[in-house]
Homo-oligomer: A and B are copies of this chain.
Amino acid sequence: MSTVMEPRLSKGEATRERILEIAEAAVLSKGFGATSIEEVIAEAGLTKSGFFYHFKDKNALAREMLRRYVATNDQLFDEIFARGRALSDDPLQAFLISLKLLAETMADLPSGHPGCLIASICYQERLFDREVRELTAQSVRDWNARFRTILDGIAAIYPPREPVDLDDVADMLSCIVDGAIIMSKTLNDPKKLERQIMLFRSCIKLMFAP
């Protein structure tokens, strides 16, 4: 899809990356509390001492995992919404294009979306310190604000038919995605996610299209 310029990683940074990737997959499939450091280091091929050299404790691992996750997602959104704007000057059309791109991106994931780390953390809040919880909340607020900005641009040109609160509509996208990921995973049907995004797209059309 997109070739990202990876800055050359030192050996330590590469190991950290490897640990974070393995840990994320484990956390998304069994939860943070049930993810043992032992299994992570076994898969990463290093010892417990090696692990604790990189991460002070499990909470430090969680923080870095989350930072990584948020950064990756931010980048994805930047890309998708920039492409939408590049393909149409009309804000509504641009958004509809971006949503289609988002749906396609999700559909292209080989074995379905692996899960949303923020959702996972939300269902295990008591395990994390305030910093982690604040980070999740802030990233959600940022995403909502981003969508809200887009919707403002649309509503300025196309007044909504039904009286809807644009903040709620902005929130809706995250809700749909998170909810659809859960349904996809629960029913073992990866297609649910892209279908729900496309349905949200239809709702946007119904709300704003003349």
Contacts and interface: CB of A to CB of B under 8 A. Distances in A.
A119 B182 contact: yes
Given A162-B202, A180-B175, A185 B118 contact: no
Q: Considering residues A171, A175, A198, which has the most beta carbons from chain B within 10 angstroms of its beta carbon?
A: A175
Contacts of A121: 186
B172 A176 contact: yes
Contacts of A123: 28, 31, 115, 119-120, 123, 182, 185
A28 B119 CA distance: 12
Contacts of A124: 29-31, 34
B169 A199 contact: yes
Q: How large is the interface on A (under 10, 10 to 19, 20 to 34, 35 or more residues)?
A: 35 or more
As for how many copies of this chain the complex holds, the number is 2
B185 A171 contact: no
A186 B30 contact: no
Contacts of A141: 187
Which of A136, A171, A192 has most chain B Cβ within 10 Å? A171
Interface string A132-157: 00001100110000000000000000
A38 to B, nearest CB: 14
Contacts of A29: 124-126
The winner among A141, A188, A195 for most chain B CB atoms within 10 A is: A195
